[in-house]
Structure 1
Amino acid sequence: MSDPITTIAAGAILNLAFQEFAKSGAGEIAKKTVGGAIALAKGLRDKITAKFKGNAKAETAIAAVETDYSPEALAKLEVYLDDAMADDVIFATELRQVAQQIINIQSQTTSNRDYRNYGRDQINIEKIEGNPRIGGS
Protein backbone atom coordinates (compact mmCIF):
# COMPACT_ATOMS: atom_id res chain seq x y z
CA MET A 1 0.00 0.00 0.00
CA SER A 2 1.48 3.36 -1.00
CA ASP A 3 1.67 6.41 1.22
CA PRO A 4 -1.08 8.89 0.21
CA ILE A 5 1.35 11.79 0.46
CA THR A 6 3.54 10.35 -2.32
CA THR A 7 0.57 10.11 -4.67
CA ILE A 8 -0.15 13.85 -4.84
CA ALA A 9 0.88 14.91 -8.35
CA ALA A 10 2.37 18.21 -9.47
CA GLY A 11 -0.91 19.30 -11.06
CA ALA A 12 -2.85 18.76 -7.85
CA ILE A 13 -0.21 20.67 -5.88
CA LEU A 14 -0.43 23.60 -8.29
CA ASN A 15 -4.21 23.60 -8.04
CA LEU A 16 -4.01 23.75 -4.26
CA ALA A 17 -1.36 26.47 -4.27
CA PHE A 18 -2.87 28.75 -6.87
CA GLN A 19 -6.58 28.02 -6.48
CA GLU A 20 -6.43 29.34 -2.92
CA PHE A 21 -4.56 32.37 -4.33
CA ALA A 22 -7.46 32.98 -6.71
CA LYS A 23 -10.01 32.52 -3.90
CA SER A 24 -8.17 34.87 -1.57
CA GLY A 25 -8.54 37.59 -4.18
CA ALA A 26 -12.30 37.08 -4.00
CA GLY A 27 -12.59 38.70 -0.59
CA GLU A 28 -13.22 37.94 3.05
CA ILE A 29 -15.95 35.36 2.43
CA ALA A 30 -13.56 33.16 0.46
CA LYS A 31 -10.87 33.59 3.13
CA LYS A 32 -13.25 32.43 5.86
CA THR A 33 -14.38 29.38 3.91
CA VAL A 34 -10.88 27.97 3.48
CA GLY A 35 -9.67 28.81 6.98
CA GLY A 36 -6.01 28.03 7.60
CA ALA A 37 -5.58 26.60 4.12
CA ILE A 38 -4.77 30.06 2.73
CA ALA A 39 -1.61 30.40 4.83
CA LEU A 40 -0.51 26.91 3.82
CA ALA A 41 -1.28 27.58 0.15
CA LYS A 42 0.76 30.78 0.32
CA GLY A 43 3.64 28.78 1.78
CA LEU A 44 3.26 26.25 -1.00
CA ARG A 45 3.33 29.01 -3.63
CA ASP A 46 6.37 30.55 -1.94
CA LYS A 47 8.24 27.21 -2.06
CA ILE A 48 7.42 26.79 -5.74
CA THR A 49 8.37 30.38 -6.57
CA ALA A 50 11.66 30.09 -4.64
CA LYS A 51 12.54 26.85 -6.44
CA PHE A 52 12.17 28.49 -9.84
CA LYS A 53 13.88 31.79 -8.99
CA GLY A 54 16.25 32.54 -11.85
CA ASN A 55 14.46 30.23 -14.30
CA ALA A 56 12.95 32.77 -16.70
CA LYS A 57 10.55 30.34 -18.40
CA ALA A 58 9.22 28.96 -15.12
CA GLU A 59 8.88 32.48 -13.65
CA THR A 60 6.88 33.49 -16.73
CA ALA A 61 4.66 30.43 -16.25
CA ILE A 62 4.12 31.34 -12.56
CA ALA A 63 3.20 34.90 -13.49
CA ALA A 64 0.74 33.58 -16.10
CA VAL A 65 -0.94 31.34 -13.50
CA GLU A 66 -1.20 34.20 -11.01
CA THR A 67 -2.75 36.59 -13.53
CA ASP A 68 -4.81 34.11 -15.56
CA TYR A 69 -5.74 31.04 -13.52
CA SER A 70 -6.46 28.89 -16.57
CA PRO A 71 -5.88 25.22 -17.41
CA GLU A 72 -3.38 26.22 -20.11
CA ALA A 73 -1.29 28.33 -17.73
CA LEU A 74 -1.38 25.57 -15.09
CA ALA A 75 -0.34 22.94 -17.65
CA LYS A 76 2.77 24.93 -18.61
CA LEU A 77 3.82 25.36 -14.99
CA GLU A 78 3.02 21.73 -14.23
CA VAL A 79 5.70 20.60 -16.68
CA TYR A 80 8.36 22.61 -14.82
CA LEU A 81 7.14 21.50 -11.41
CA ASP A 82 6.97 17.86 -12.45
CA ASP A 83 10.61 17.98 -13.59
CA ALA A 84 11.72 19.78 -10.41
CA MET A 85 9.93 17.25 -8.20
CA ALA A 86 11.52 14.35 -10.10
CA ASP A 87 14.99 15.91 -9.72
CA ASP A 88 14.66 16.93 -6.05
CA VAL A 89 13.01 14.30 -3.85
CA ILE A 90 13.22 16.46 -0.70
CA PHE A 91 11.49 19.36 -2.45
CA ALA A 92 8.81 16.98 -3.74
CA THR A 93 8.24 15.53 -0.27
CA GLU A 94 7.92 19.00 1.29
CA LEU A 95 5.37 20.08 -1.33
CA ARG A 96 3.35 16.91 -0.91
CA GLN A 97 3.28 17.26 2.87
CA VAL A 98 1.98 20.83 2.69
CA ALA A 99 -0.52 19.83 0.00
CA GLN A 100 -1.80 17.02 2.24
CA GLN A 101 -2.23 19.49 5.12
CA ILE A 102 -4.31 21.75 2.85
CA ILE A 103 -6.43 18.79 1.75
CA ASN A 104 -6.98 17.82 5.40
CA ILE A 105 -8.11 21.36 6.32
CA GLN A 106 -10.44 21.53 3.34
CA SER A 107 -12.05 18.20 4.18
CA GLN A 108 -12.46 19.24 7.84
CA THR A 109 -14.11 22.46 6.73
CA THR A 110 -16.42 20.55 4.40
CA SER A 111 -17.38 17.98 7.02
CA ASN A 112 -18.05 20.73 9.59
CA ARG A 113 -20.47 22.37 7.15
CA ASP A 114 -22.39 19.11 6.79
CA TYR A 115 -23.31 19.13 10.47
CA ARG A 116 -23.87 22.84 10.93
CA ASN A 117 -27.67 22.46 11.14
CA TYR A 118 -27.70 18.99 12.65
CA GLY A 119 -30.41 18.69 15.28
CA ARG A 120 -32.32 21.79 14.21
CA ASP A 121 -35.77 21.70 12.72
CA GLN A 122 -35.64 22.37 9.02
CA ILE A 123 -38.74 24.31 8.00
CA ASN A 124 -39.48 25.64 4.56
CA ILE A 125 -41.41 28.77 5.51
CA GLU A 126 -42.45 29.51 1.93
CA LYS A 127 -44.63 26.37 1.80
CA ILE A 128 -46.44 26.82 5.11
CA GLU A 129 -50.13 27.57 4.57
CA GLY A 130 -52.68 28.92 7.00
CA ASN A 131 -51.68 29.94 10.51
CA PRO A 132 -49.46 27.15 11.78
CA ARG A 133 -48.14 26.95 15.32
CA ILE A 134 -44.54 25.91 15.47
CA GLY A 135 -43.33 24.65 18.83
CA GLY A 136 -44.79 25.62 22.18
CA SER A 137 -48.32 24.79 23.31
Structure 2
Amino acid sequence: MVGLITLAAAQAIANVAFRKFFESSVGKLGEKFTETGLKKIDELYQTIRKKLSGNPGANHTLADVEQGNQEALQRVAVYLLDVMQADANFATDVQKIADEINIHRVEDNSQLTQINKDHSTGYQTKTGDNNTNQFGNTIHYHGNPPQS
Protein backbone atom coordinates (compact mmCIF):
# COMPACT_ATOMS: atom_id res chain seq x y z
CA MET A 1 0.00 0.00 0.00
CA VAL A 2 1.27 3.43 -0.93
CA GLY A 3 1.55 5.93 1.89
CA LEU A 4 0.47 9.53 1.74
CA ILE A 5 1.65 11.06 -1.52
CA THR A 6 2.38 14.76 -1.30
CA LEU A 7 2.91 17.43 -3.91
CA ALA A 8 6.50 17.75 -2.68
CA ALA A 9 7.09 14.04 -3.39
CA ALA A 10 5.54 14.37 -6.85
CA GLN A 11 7.73 17.43 -7.53
CA ALA A 12 10.86 15.56 -6.48
CA ILE A 13 9.99 12.64 -8.75
CA ALA A 14 9.17 14.96 -11.67
CA ASN A 15 12.44 16.84 -11.14
CA VAL A 16 14.41 13.62 -11.45
CA ALA A 17 12.42 12.26 -14.40
CA PHE A 18 12.63 15.46 -16.44
CA ARG A 19 16.06 16.61 -15.30
CA LYS A 20 17.66 15.85 -18.67
CA PHE A 21 15.69 18.69 -20.25
CA PHE A 22 17.27 21.22 -17.90
CA GLU A 23 20.87 20.04 -17.52
CA SER A 24 23.24 22.28 -19.47
CA SER A 25 24.85 19.18 -20.96
CA VAL A 26 24.20 15.47 -20.93
CA GLY A 27 27.66 14.94 -19.45
CA LYS A 28 26.71 16.81 -16.27
CA LEU A 29 23.87 14.38 -15.63
CA GLY A 30 26.29 11.51 -16.22
CA GLU A 31 28.57 12.90 -13.52
CA LYS A 32 25.79 12.61 -10.94
CA PHE A 33 24.48 9.12 -11.69
CA THR A 34 25.89 5.75 -12.68
CA GLU A 35 25.00 4.26 -16.07
CA THR A 36 22.32 2.17 -14.39
CA GLY A 37 20.96 5.29 -12.69
CA LEU A 38 20.74 7.09 -16.04
CA LYS A 39 18.81 4.15 -17.51
CA LYS A 40 16.45 4.25 -14.53
CA ILE A 41 15.92 8.00 -15.01
CA ASP A 42 14.91 7.30 -18.60
CA GLU A 43 12.63 4.48 -17.43
CA LEU A 44 10.99 6.85 -14.93
CA TYR A 45 10.55 9.50 -17.62
CA GLN A 46 9.01 6.99 -20.07
CA THR A 47 6.68 5.60 -17.37
CA ILE A 48 5.40 9.05 -16.42
CA ARG A 49 5.22 10.20 -20.04
CA LYS A 50 3.13 7.17 -21.02
CA LYS A 51 0.74 7.56 -18.10
CA LEU A 52 0.19 11.31 -18.52
CA SER A 53 0.02 11.36 -22.33
CA GLY A 54 -3.65 10.30 -22.30
CA ASN A 55 -4.60 13.62 -20.69
CA PRO A 56 -4.62 16.46 -23.28
CA GLY A 57 -3.71 19.13 -20.69
CA ALA A 58 -0.91 17.02 -19.27
CA ASN A 59 0.30 16.16 -22.77
CA HIS A 60 0.60 19.87 -23.61
CA THR A 61 2.43 20.53 -20.34
CA LEU A 62 4.81 17.63 -21.00
CA ALA A 63 5.65 19.15 -24.38
CA ASP A 64 6.42 22.47 -22.66
CA VAL A 65 8.77 20.76 -20.19
CA GLU A 66 10.47 18.87 -23.00
CA GLN A 67 11.14 22.24 -24.65
CA GLY A 68 12.97 23.36 -21.50
CA ASN A 69 10.18 25.32 -19.79
CA GLN A 70 10.96 24.88 -16.09
CA GLU A 71 7.76 26.61 -14.99
CA ALA A 72 5.76 23.84 -16.68
CA LEU A 73 7.50 21.28 -14.46
CA GLN A 74 5.35 22.43 -11.52
CA ARG A 75 2.21 21.68 -13.53
CA VAL A 76 3.58 18.24 -14.48
CA ALA A 77 4.06 17.55 -10.77
CA VAL A 78 0.38 18.39 -10.13
CA TYR A 79 -0.74 16.03 -12.91
CA LEU A 80 1.64 13.38 -11.58
CA LEU A 81 0.26 13.77 -8.05
CA ASP A 82 -3.30 13.32 -9.36
CA VAL A 83 -2.54 10.06 -11.18
CA MET A 84 -0.42 8.73 -8.32
CA GLN A 85 -3.29 9.33 -5.90
CA ALA A 86 -5.79 7.74 -8.30
CA ASP A 87 -3.66 4.70 -9.24
CA ALA A 88 -1.86 3.04 -6.33
CA ASN A 89 -0.07 0.54 -8.60
CA PHE A 90 1.33 3.34 -10.74
CA ALA A 91 2.39 5.24 -7.60
CA THR A 92 4.17 2.16 -6.27
CA ASP A 93 5.96 1.61 -9.59
CA VAL A 94 7.07 5.24 -9.83
CA GLN A 95 8.29 5.36 -6.23
CA LYS A 96 10.21 2.10 -6.72
CA ILE A 97 11.99 3.45 -9.80
CA ALA A 98 12.76 6.73 -8.00
CA ASP A 99 14.25 4.78 -5.07
CA GLU A 100 16.40 2.74 -7.47
CA ILE A 101 17.64 5.96 -9.10
CA ASN A 102 18.69 7.29 -5.71
CA ILE A 103 20.72 4.14 -5.10
CA HIS A 104 22.68 4.83 -8.29
CA ARG A 105 23.57 8.41 -7.47
CA VAL A 106 27.31 9.00 -7.73
CA GLU A 107 28.89 9.60 -4.35
CA ASP A 108 30.51 13.00 -3.92
CA ASN A 109 34.19 12.21 -3.43
CA SER A 110 35.41 15.73 -4.04
CA GLN A 111 37.86 17.15 -1.57
CA LEU A 112 37.56 20.08 0.72
CA THR A 113 40.25 22.70 0.06
CA GLN A 114 41.82 24.75 2.82
CA ILE A 115 43.82 27.88 2.10
CA ASN A 116 45.97 29.24 4.92
CA LYS A 117 46.88 32.91 4.85
CA ASP A 118 49.58 34.39 7.07
CA HIS A 119 49.57 31.25 9.22
CA SER A 120 46.58 32.56 11.16
CA THR A 121 43.42 32.27 9.05
CA GLY A 122 42.26 29.14 7.26
CA TYR A 123 39.47 29.19 4.67
CA GLN A 124 37.78 25.98 3.64
CA THR A 125 35.74 25.87 0.44
CA LYS A 126 33.83 23.22 -1.46
CA THR A 127 31.51 23.58 -4.44
CA GLY A 128 28.61 21.14 -4.61
CA ASP A 129 25.63 20.35 -6.85
CA ASN A 130 23.78 23.30 -8.35
CA ASN A 131 26.71 25.57 -7.46
CA THR A 132 26.01 25.29 -3.74
CA ASN A 133 29.08 26.26 -1.77
CA GLN A 134 30.37 25.42 1.64
CA PHE A 135 32.65 28.01 3.17
CA GLY A 136 34.29 27.86 6.56
CA ASN A 137 36.67 30.12 8.43
CA THR A 138 39.11 29.03 11.09
CA ILE A 139 41.36 31.49 12.91
CA HIS A 140 44.48 30.22 14.64
CA TYR A 141 46.15 32.49 17.19
CA HIS A 142 49.84 32.22 17.86
CA GLY A 143 50.37 33.61 21.32
CA ASN A 144 47.62 35.52 23.12
CA PRO A 145 44.32 36.01 21.24
CA PRO A 146 43.16 39.60 20.79
CA GLN A 147 40.93 41.00 23.53
CA SER A 148 37.32 41.58 22.57
TM-score (norm. length: structure 2): 0.62
Number of residue pairs aligned between Structure 1 and Structure 2? 111
Tell me the residue number matched to 2:81.
82
Equivalent residues in 2 for 1:94-133 (5 A)? 94-106=93-105, 109-111=106-108, 113-114=109-110
The residue matched to 1:58 in structure 2 has which SS?
helix
Identity, % of aligned positions = 29
Identify which of structures 1 and 2 has the higher relative contact order when contacts are C-alpha pairs closer than 8 Å and 6+ apart.
1
| Equivalent-residue separation in structure 1 for 2:67 and 2:81 (angstroms) | 21
| Equivalent-residue separation in structure 2 for 1:84 and 1:101 (angstroms) | 21
Conserved 8 A contact 2:41-2:101: yes
- Corresponding letter in the other structure for 2:65: V
- How far residue 99 of structure 1 moved from its aligned partner, in angstroms, is 0.6
Tell me the residue number matched to 1:134.
none
Conserved 8 A contact 2:20-2:26: no
Q: Deviations over 1:1-21 (max 9, x none)?
A: xx99x7781111001111144
Residue ranges of structure 1 left out of the alignment (5+ in a row): 125-137
Q: Give the alignment's Cα RMSD to 1 decimal.
A: 2.8
More strand by share: 2
- 4+ aligned runs moved over 6 Å, structure 1: none
Tell me the residue number matched to 2:30.
31
Residue ranges of structure 2 left out of the alignment (5+ in a row): 116-148
| Equivalent-residue separation in structure 2 for 1:67 and 1:90 (angstroms) | 29
- Corresponding letter in the other structure for 1:110: E
- How far residue 78 of structure 1 moved from its aligned partner, in angstroms, is 1.2
